[in-house]
Structure 1
Amino acid sequence: MDRNSIWGLVIIGAILIGYTYLTKPSEEEIKAMQTRDSIARVERLRNEQLETERVEALKKQYAEKKQDTAALQSEYGAFAGAVQQKEEIITLENKLVKISINTLGGKIANVELKDYKTHDAEKLMLWGEKNSKFGLAFYAQNKAMNTQDLYFTPVNSVKTVDASTAQQVVNMRLNAGEGKYIEYKYSLEPDSYMLGFDINVVGMQDVIALNQRDLTFNWAADIPSQEKGRKFENQYTNIYYKFFEDDVDNMSASGEDEESLSTKVKWIGFKQQFFSSVLIADDSFKGIELKSVDMDETSPILKNFSASISLPYQGSQLENYPMNFYFGPNKYKTMRKYGKDIELHALVDLGWKMFAWVNKWFVIPIFNFLENHIASYGIIILILTIIIKLILAPLTYKSYMSTAKMKVLKPQIDEINERIPKDKAMERQQATMALYKKAGVNPMGGCLPMLVQFPILIALFRFFPSSIELRQKSFLWAEDLSSFDAIVSWDAHIPLLSTFYGNHISLFCLLMAITNLVYTRMNSQMQSTNQMPGMQTMMYLMPLMFLFWFNSYASGLSYYYFIATLFTVAQTWAIRKYMVDEDKVLATIEANKKKPVKKSKFQQRLEEAAKQRGYKPPKK
C-alpha cells in the first residue's frame, strides 16, 4: 500500500466514524425511538394475541356449529365438512429431518433438523409455528376462502419413525364434496433434505369462482435466532430467489423490504446463516410478492419472511402444481447433490462472481480434502493457510525484491528531485522513469503480486463466515469457529464503544491486530527512507481498525488472518536475512545502468511521432 492508499483508507474511516457520530440521535430522539419500539412491540404482541383469539374463536365457533348443519352450509358451503374435524399432527421423519404436518390447514407446522442444535443446545427448528402461514387463498360462493383455516383429512397417514429404506407419503385432503377436494401430497425420501410437495385441485370447477384465474399460495414464517452472535447472524438472514434459467438474487438483509417479481422464478428461499427453507417449482413460479420484516433485538425471532405466489388456475377437472421443499443446511457439497441446474448452492455466500470462483475451484476442494483426513478444524485452517502462503511465496519474494530495489534507488531519486524544481513536474517524472528504465527496475513490480493475492483475500473473507463445517466446532479457547471467541464480555452499554466494537473482546481478533502491527513495523523499517514524516503513525491505524471490523466476525476468519500474517512475517524475515543483500541489489542495478537500454518497437514509434511534432526530450 502506498501513501495515497493509506490516506484514502484513513479518510474513509474518519468520514464513516464522523458521520456516525454527527448523525447519532439525540437523547430525545433515542427516547422517542424507544417509545416507538415499545409501541411496536406492544402492537405486535397485541396482533399475536388477536390471532390467537381468532383461532380460538374459530375453534369455539366450529364446536358450537357442529350440530347446526344448515348454518355451516350457509357459511362455508362446500367446505362445511372441513370445520368438523379434529386437529392432529402427522409426522414424516428420516435420519436427517423431522417434519410435522398439522391437519388444521394441512400445513407444515415446523421442521426439525436432527443433526444440528441451536447455540444453546436446543432442538433446531427452522421456523416458529405461532405466526407461520401456509395455504391457498381463493374465492368460492362469493366468499374469500383460505385453506389454512380449515381442517384437512389425512388419506394415508404415515407415522413411521424410521424411513431408512422406504419413501414416506401422506396425502392431506380438504374435501368439498364427492370427488371434489384440494390435496397436499407430501413425500419424503430416505436420507434426504428434500420434501416432495404437490398441490392437486380435483373437481373444484363448480366450487371455485368461475372468474378465478389464479390461486394464491401464501407461505410465511418467523425465523428464529439459531446462533450465538445475533447481529452477525442477522447479516446473513434474508430471502433469496433464483430466476428461471438465470441468476440468483436476494432481498436486503437489513430493515423492512418488499419486492414484486413478475418474471419466472425457479425457487424462493428463506435463508438463515447456516440453514435454509426453499420452495422449488418443478417448472417455474410467476407473479410473486415477497416481504421481509426485522424483529426487535430483544425478540428470539430475527425476521418474518413471507411469500405470496400466484398459481395459474384453468378451471379444469384436475389442476396439478408439483413442487419440492428443501429443508437443510447451507452446505455447498450437500446442496450440489440436488442438481447443478437448481443452484441451491448459491445460498452459500461465496462472494461476488469474480471472487467466488476462488472458493469453488481452489479453497473448497482443498478444505474438503483436509476435512476427510483431519478431525480438528483449527488444524485444517492452519494447513490451508500454509498451502496458500506457499503457493503465493514466489509473489511475496518478488514484491519484497521490488521494494528492496526501490529502497536502494532512493538516494538517486532524491538527487533528481533536488536538481529538478517542483514546477517542472513532467521533467522530474521523465527523469525518474528514465532512471528506473536504466536500472531495470519496475516501480509497479510490487503491485502485481498484491493484485494476484487480493481475490484470495476477499474469497476467504466470504468463505469462513459461510462455512457450516465450522459451526459449533471448537479450537483452543474458541468454542465456535463460526462465531466470535470472547475471552472477556460485559453487559453495560458504552456509547460508541458498544456500537463500533461490541460488548466483548475476541482473542483471535486481538492476536490478528497484533501480528499486523508487527508486520507494519517490519514494512516501515524497510520503507522508512521513502516515507514522509508522520507516515509511519498513519500506517498503524489500519491494524487498529481491524479490532473494530473483526471483533464480532467468525473467529475462524480472524484465526486465518492471524496465522496468514504470522506466516508472512516469518517469510519476510527469512527473505530479508537469507535471500536479499541490498549491496548486491545495488550492484546489480548499477550494472544494469551500464547496459544499453533496449527500446521496444512501440516506444520507438512513439518517439518518432514526437520528433515529427517537434518535441525535444530533456537533456540528461
Structure 2
Amino acid sequence: MDRNSITGLILITLVLIGFWFINKPDAEQIEAMRRQRDSLYQVELAKQQEELARAAQIAAEAAQLDSISIEDDSLATDLRLQKFGQLWPYVEGEESFYNLENEKIKLVLTNKGARIYSVELKEYKTHDGKPLILFDGDANVFGFPFSHDTKVFHTSDLYFNKVSQNDSTIVFEIAGNAGETMQFSYTLPADEYMVDFDINTKNLGQFISTSRGTMDLNWYVEMPAFEKGRQMEQMYSGMYYKYYLDEVDNLKANKDKSENLRTKVKWIAFKGQFFSSVLIADDAFSGAYVESRFEKDKNSPYLLYNRTEAAVPFELAKDQQLGFSFYFGPNRFYTLDKYDKELELNKLIPLGWGIFGWINRYAVIPTFNFLEGFIGSYGIIILILTILIKLVLFPLTYKSYISAAKMKVLKPQIDEINAKIPAEKAMERQQATMNLYKKAGVNPMGGCVPILLQMPILIAMFRFFPASIELRQESFLWAKDLSTYDSILDLPFSIPFYGAHVSLFTLLMAVTNILYTKMNSEMTQTSNQMPGMKAMMYMMPIMFLFLFNSYASGLSYYYFISTLITILQTMVIRRWVDDKKLLLQIQANQKKPVKKSKFAARLEQMAKQQQQIQKNQRKR
C-alpha cells in the first residue's frame, strides 16, 4: 500500500471521527431523549397497572361477594348481577384444563379465557433433553376486551363453560339469559401442526360492545430459549407478519421494536430460530400493532417477549363465525411450503433476498433433502453437497487460476515497466501496463470475475446453515449439534467478540483460509503495492475466526471443506498447467497485431493530455 493510499485512509478516518463528534448529541439532547423514553415507559406502565387494577378489582369484588353466607344466596346473586351484569357467573370459577393431542403436538387448554394454555411439540426436545414447550401458563395471554353493562371485561379473565369435547375438538361458551352466546372452538386435525380456531357469536348486539366496531385480539407470549447457542437463537428470532395479498415483513432482529400496521394483515408470527407460533386469519386482520422486546439478561430462560393487538372486523348486530388458524411447529421449509402458497409461510425461514434466496430455495434445499432421503449422517450430506457445488464451480476456479498464472508470468515485464516509468507518471505507467495486457491477451480482471460469480453461493450458504432445522441436534465427529457451535474447550472467561469457548471447525476453517491465502498471494504478486494488500488478505481469516466462533458448526464445517477442496483443486491445476508453455503462448500473442479498443484509445488519449499538461507546467 503506497503513501497516497495510507494518507487517504487516514483522512477518511479523520473525517468520520469529525462527523461523529459534530453529530454527537449534546447533554440537552441526551436529556430530552431520556425524558421521551421515560414518558413512553410511564405510559406503558400506566396501561399495565390499569389492567392489573381492573383484574384485581374484579377479583376483590368477587371475593367480597363470596363472603356472603349461603343463607343470603339470593342477595349475593342480586349483588353479583348489579356488579357484573349477566356475566356474573363467569367472573369467578375454578380453572380446569383439557387436552387435545395428535402425533405431532399436544395442546393444553383452559376454561379461564377459553385459550390455549400450553403447546408441546412432541417430536422435538430442547438442547438439554427437556420437552419442547413453545409457551406455557401465564407466559401466554390471548383474548379480547369488550364492554358489558357499562363495565369493561377481557375474555382472558372469564371462566367459560366447556360445552362439548371429542378427540379433536373442544368448545367453550359464554351465554346470556336471552339466548346470547359466544363460543370459542378449537380443532386439532390428525398429524397436523395447524389448529383451527373459530369464534361463533349469536344475538350479541345488545349484550356486549367493542370499540370502533372491531374485535381487538390481544396475544402476548414470553418465548423461551431452546438452543445451546443463545446468541444465534436470539439473532434468528423475532416477529414476522404478512400483509394481505402482499409481501412478508418483520421487525428487525436483536433490538426492541414496535410497528403500527395500518393496512390489512394476513398472519402474525412469533418466530424462533427453529420453531414458530403463527396466528392466521381466514380473511384478514384490518390492522395490527406488533411489538417485540429482547431479553438482555443472558441467564434468563426467555429470549424475547412478543405482543400483538390485531383488529378483526366484528359486527355485533349479526350472528358471525370468525375463522382463524394457529400454526405451532418447526420452521422446516417443506413443512411450511405444503400449506396454501399464498400464505408464504416458508418465508419464516430467512434464506436471503434476491438471488441468495433463489439459490437456497431452488438448488441447495432440494439437493439437501434429496441426499437426506438415503444418507443418515448430515456431516456426510454437507460433504457431498460441498463437492457437488465445487464441481459446478470448477470451470470458474480453473479460469481464475489461469488468469492468476498469466499475471504471474507477466510479472517480470510489469516490473520492467515500473522501473522505466517513474511513479509520478501514473497515467503513462498504467497505459503501458494495459498495452502489455492487451498484447499478451490477459484480462487483469479475469481472476476477480470468477470469484465474484461464486459469492452468491457463499452468501446463500451463510444464510442456509443457521436457519436449517435439519441440522438441529445432529452430531458429526466432535460436534454434538451442527446447528450451533462446536466446543472443544470451554474457557473460564469470555474474550470480547470471540466468546467463552473454542470451536474446532472454526479453527480449521481459519487455518485452511490462511493456507489458501498464501497460495493465492504467490500467484498474484504483480507490483510493489501488493504487500499491503497481502496483509489485509491475511486479516480476513482472523476476522472469520472471531465471527464464526459462535455460528453453526455446520457452516464452519462447510467453509472448511469448501476451502480445502479449493486448495486441492489449485494443486491439481498447478501440476496440470505449465507456466513455461503459458509464457510461450503469451509471447506468441504479443507478436500478433493488436487492434486498440475504445477503452485503450481513451486511456492513450488521457495519457497524452497528461504529458502535455506536464510539459506546459515545466515551461512555466
Equivalence for 2:556: 558
Partner of residue 154 from structure 1, selected from 149, 162, 185: 162
Equivalence for 2:307: 306
Contact 1:187/1:197 (8 A) holds in 2: yes
Q: Percent identity?
A: 49
Partner of residue 513 from structure 1, selected from 510, 515, 526: 510
Q: In structure 2, the residue corresponding to 1:503 is in which secondary structure?
A: strand
Whole-angstrom CA distance in 1 between matches of 2:145 and 2:610: 82
Contact 1:281/1:324 (8 A) holds in 2: yes
1:583 and 2:580 matched: yes
Equivalence for 2:213: 213
Contact 1:480/1:555 (8 A) holds in 2: yes
Whole-angstrom CA distance in 2 between matches of 1:199 and 1:318: 11
CA spacing shift, 1:535–1:362, aligned 2, 3 Å: same
Contact 1:62/1:84 (8 A) holds in 2: no
Whole-angstrom CA distance in 2 between matches of 1:476 and 1:58: 63
What amino acid does structure 2 have at the position aligned with 1:292? S
- Could you state the TM-score of these two structures normalised by the residue count of structure 2? 0.86
Whole-angstrom CA distance in 2 between matches of 1:433 and 1:138: 78
CA spacing shift, 1:538–1:603, aligned 2, 3 Å: closer
What amino acid does structure 1 have at the position aligned with 2:171? N
Partner of residue 104 from structure 1, selected from 112, 130, 135: 112
Equivalence for 2:222: 222
Partner of residue 138 from structure 2, selected from 130, 133, 139: 130
Equivalence for 2:359: 358
Whole-angstrom CA distance in 2 between matches of 1:59 and 1:465: 51
Contact 2:411/2:525 (8 A) holds in 1: no
How many residue pairs match? The answer is: 572
Equivalence for 2:122: 114
The alpha-carbon deviation at position 472 of structure 1 amounts to 0.4
Equivalence for 1:243: 243
The alpha-carbon deviation at position 272 of structure 1 amounts to 0.2
Whole-angstrom CA distance in 2 between matches of 1:210 and 1:330: 36
Q: In structure 2, the residue corresponding to 1:490 is in which secondary structure?
A: strand
CA spacing shift, 1:3–1:463, aligned 2, 3 Å: farther
Equivalence for 1:325: 326
Whole-angstrom CA distance in 1 between matches of 2:468 and 2:531: 44
CA spacing shift, 1:507–1:610, aligned 2, 3 Å: closer
Q: In structure 2, the residue corresponding to 1:552 is in which secondary structure?
A: coil
What amino acid does structure 2 have at the position aligned with 1:515? T
Equivalence for 1:31: none
Contact 2:360/2:464 (8 A) holds in 1: yes
The alpha-carbon deviation at position 144 of structure 1 amounts to 1.4
Contact 1:186/1:197 (8 A) holds in 2: yes
Unpaired runs of 5+ in structure 2? 25-40, 613-620
The alpha-carbon deviation at position 374 of structure 1 amounts to 0.2
CA spacing shift, 1:58–1:341, aligned 2, 3 Å: farther
Equivalence for 1:538: 536
The alpha-carbon deviation at position 83 of structure 1 amounts to 2.8
The alpha-carbon deviation at position 615 of structure 1 amounts to 7.9
- Could you state the TM-score of these two structures normalised by the residue count of structure 1? 0.86
The alpha-carbon deviation at position 317 of structure 1 amounts to 2.8
The alpha-carbon deviation at position 232 of structure 1 amounts to 1.3
Contact 1:142/1:209 (8 A) holds in 2: no
Q: In structure 1, the residue corresponding to 2:488 is in which secondary structure?
A: strand
Unpaired runs of 5+ in structure 1? 24-39, 161-167
Whole-angstrom CA distance in 2 between matches of 1:275 and 1:131: 17
The alpha-carbon deviation at position 100 of structure 1 amounts to 1.1
What amino acid does structure 1 have at the position aligned with 2:134? L
Equivalence for 1:87: 95
Deviations 1:160-200 (A, max 9, x none): 3xxxxxxx122211223342122111111111111011122
CA spacing shift, 1:76–1:106, aligned 2, 3 Å: same
Partner of residue 592 from structure 2, selected from 595, 598, 603: 595
Equivalence for 2:616: none
Deviations 1:327-380 (A, max 9, x none): 100000100011211000000110122310000111011001000010000000
Equivalence for 2:615: none
The alpha-carbon deviation at position 312 of structure 1 amounts to 1.9
Whole-angstrom CA distance in 2 between matches of 1:147 and 1:56: 14
Aligned pairs for 1:367-378 (under 5 A) are: 367-378=368-379
Contact 2:266/2:284 (8 A) holds in 1: yes
Whole-angstrom CA distance in 2 between matches of 1:7 and 1:141: 77
The alpha-carbon deviation at position 51 of structure 1 amounts to 9.4
Whole-angstrom CA distance in 1 between matches of 2:439 and 2:389: 35
CA spacing shift, 1:547–1:337, aligned 2, 3 Å: same
1:485 and 2:500 matched: no
The alpha-carbon deviation at position 154 of structure 1 amounts to 1.6
* Coordinate RMSD, CA, aligned: 3.3
Contact 1:90/1:157 (8 A) holds in 2: no
Equivalence for 1:274: 274
Q: In structure 2, the residue corresponding to 1:356 is in which secondary structure?
A: helix
Contact 1:501/1:548 (8 A) holds in 2: yes
What amino acid does structure 1 have at the position aligned with 2:556? S
Contact 1:138/1:212 (8 A) holds in 2: no
Contact 2:517/2:537 (8 A) holds in 1: yes
Equivalence for 2:464: 463
The alpha-carbon deviation at position 59 of structure 1 amounts to 7.4
Equivalence for 1:344: 345
CA spacing shift, 1:193–1:533, aligned 2, 3 Å: closer
Whole-angstrom CA distance in 2 between matches of 1:344 and 1:252: 18
Contact 1:81/1:176 (8 A) holds in 2: no
The alpha-carbon deviation at position 520 of structure 1 amounts to 1.3
CA spacing shift, 1:541–1:89, aligned 2, 3 Å: same
Aligned pairs for 1:191-202 (under 5 A) are: 191-202=191-202
